[in-house]
């Protein structure tokens, strides 16, 4: 038995094989404030460091059925080709949990993320699939086990099992059983998030490949764990104190440090486009003028900005094209 399958067999209880006719679940997109960047175990998606995210109100809803001869996947109302990487990735994940090798699924999945937001995320997708499998097979798994299972689909999916602010503790075990999300008891209703689109086309290099190349070749990667630790500590402190200026400085520095490690990889990885740089300069200039606004970016060119509700009109006048997405706390 391969390693991933052996771990899944420990996560999932022995069941009677009874399944429901169908099961549906929703999971949110999450945005990292302290980033997951680098794996200590590539096969199990175990991270080098902890990370912290906040959930959005948009995400993925997935319904599962049993099918007769083959797996069938529908995404946003259209069938997904068997040859596509998306189909392959999903069915490989399903191979880990099929009650028998011949068991086949029909999966109907819908992203309510506005396509133009460029947020179509594997994290909400694998989390919604995991939650719907839990219902379909009536496993009654704990949130921690669901989070570990979702991580095997995509690392950051382990955070999308929960609403609100989520800490993904890296864990120390080789089998990853202690590497899962934890819901944090913070709420911050005044906190707002907007998206500034630079491009909605597919990213040139996947986050997994970009992480691997960065870990292997960037001379800056060695400082990443200590930077992350400091930024994360400050973020957690400021979630308590609601010191927005410190909170924003930490999350922005964390994103910029992550991108600096990629820019210094060999060959270099740069997701930024002209528009990305323009948005960043506009954010920094507005801050010099006294506006409390901060930016974060993931493995892509789009910029996410964070600000407080009291500054929303000002931020909108600066970025009329901003797409505001409510947080899910
Ligand atoms: O879970 P993945 O393999 O898609 O990696 C996500 C990596 C970042 O989005 C860049 C950071 C993060 O913590 O979400």
111 Cβ inside 6 Å of ligand 1: no
CB 3 within 8 A of CB 114: no
pLDDT value at 19 more than 80: yes
pLDDT at 200: 78
Structure-token pair, residue 11: 């996560």
Tell me the percentage of the chain whose pLDDT exceeds 90. 91
pLDDT digits (tens, 9 = 90+) for 126-183: 999 999 999 999 999 999 999 999 999 999 999 999 999 999 999 999 999 999 999 9
pLDDT value at 115 more than 70: no
Residue 230 CB-density burial (10 A; 0-12 exposed, 13-18 middle, 19+ buried)? middle
How far is 203 from 276, CA to CA, in rounded Å?
14
> Atom 9 (ligand 1): residue with closest C-alpha?
298
For 166-178, give the DSSP string.
EEE-----TT-TT
Tell me the percentage of the chain whose pLDDT exceeds 70. 97
298 Cβ inside 6 Å of ligand 1: yes
**What beta strand segments (E) does 35-50 contain?**
39-41, 46-47
154 Cβ inside 6 Å of ligand 1: yes
pLDDT at 199: 85
Ligand 1 centroid to Cα of residue 299, in Å, is: 7
pLDDT value at 210 more than 80: yes
pLDDT value at 16 more than 70: no
How far is 161 from 131, CA to CA, in rounded Å?
8
Find the farthest-apart pair of alpha carbons in the chain and give their distance in angstroms, rounded: 64
**What beta strand segments (E) does the chain contain?**
22-34, 39-41, 46-47, 51-67, 72-75, 78-79, 104-111, 165-168, 181-183, 191-196, 293-296, 303-308, 323-324
pLDDT at 113: 80
pLDDT at 83: 96
- Mean of the pLDDT values across residues 1-24? 87
Ligand 1 centroid to Cα of residue 100, in Å, is: 32
For 82-113, give the DSSP string.
TTSHHHHHHHHHHHTT-SSTT-EEEEEEEE-S
How far is 253 from 248, CA to CA, in rounded Å?
8
Average pLDDT taken over every residue of the chain: 95
Candidate of 299, 300, 301 to mutate for ligand 1, largest count of ligand atoms within 8 Å of Cβ? 299
Local confidence band at 118 (pLDDT 50, 70, 90 cut-offs): low
124 Cβ inside 6 Å of ligand 1: no
Local confidence band at 114 (pLDDT 50, 70, 90 cut-offs): low
Local confidence band at 15 (pLDDT 50, 70, 90 cut-offs): low
């Amino acid at each position: 038995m391969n390693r991933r399958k052996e771990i899944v067999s420990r996560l999932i209880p022995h069941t009677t094989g009874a399944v429901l006719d169908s099961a549906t679940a929703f999971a949110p997109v999450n945005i990292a404030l302290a980033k997951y960047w680098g794996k200590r175990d590539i096969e199990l998606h175990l991270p080098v460091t902890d990370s912290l995210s906040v959930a959005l109100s948009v995400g993925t809803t997935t319904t599962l059925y049993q099918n007769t001869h083959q797996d069938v996947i529908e995404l946003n109302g259209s069938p997904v080709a068997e040859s596509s990487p998306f189909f392959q990735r999903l069915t490989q994940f399903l191979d880990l949990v099929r009650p028998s090798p011949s068991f086949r699924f029909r999966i109907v999945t819908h992203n309510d993320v506005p396509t133009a937001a460029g947020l179509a995320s594997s994290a909400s997708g694998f989390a919604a699939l995991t939650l719907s499998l839990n219902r379909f097979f009536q496993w009654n798994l704990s949130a921690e086990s669901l989070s570990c299972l979702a991580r095997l689909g995509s690392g950051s999916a382990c955070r999308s099992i929960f609403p609100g602010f989520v800490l993904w503790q890296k864990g120390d075990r080789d089998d990853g059983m202690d590497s899962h999300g934890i819901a944090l008891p913070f709420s911050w209703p005044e906190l707002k998030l907007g998206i500034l689109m630079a491009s909605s086309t597919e990213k040139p290099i996947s986050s997994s490949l970009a992480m691997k190349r960065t870990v292997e070749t960037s001379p800056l990667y060695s400082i990443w764990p200590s930077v992350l630790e400091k930024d994360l500590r400050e973020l957690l402190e400021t979630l308590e104190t609601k010191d927005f200026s410190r909170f924003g400085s930490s999350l922005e520095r964390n994103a910029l440090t992550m991108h600096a490690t990629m820019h210094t990889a060999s060959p270099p990885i740069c997701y930024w486009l002209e528009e990305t740089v323009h948005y960043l300069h506009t954010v920094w200039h507005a801050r010099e003028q006294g506006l409390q606004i901060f930016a974060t970016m993931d493995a892509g060119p789009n910029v996410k900005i964070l600000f407080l509700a009291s500054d929303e009109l000002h931020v909108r006048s600066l970025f009329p094209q901003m797409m505001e997405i409510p947080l899910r706390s």
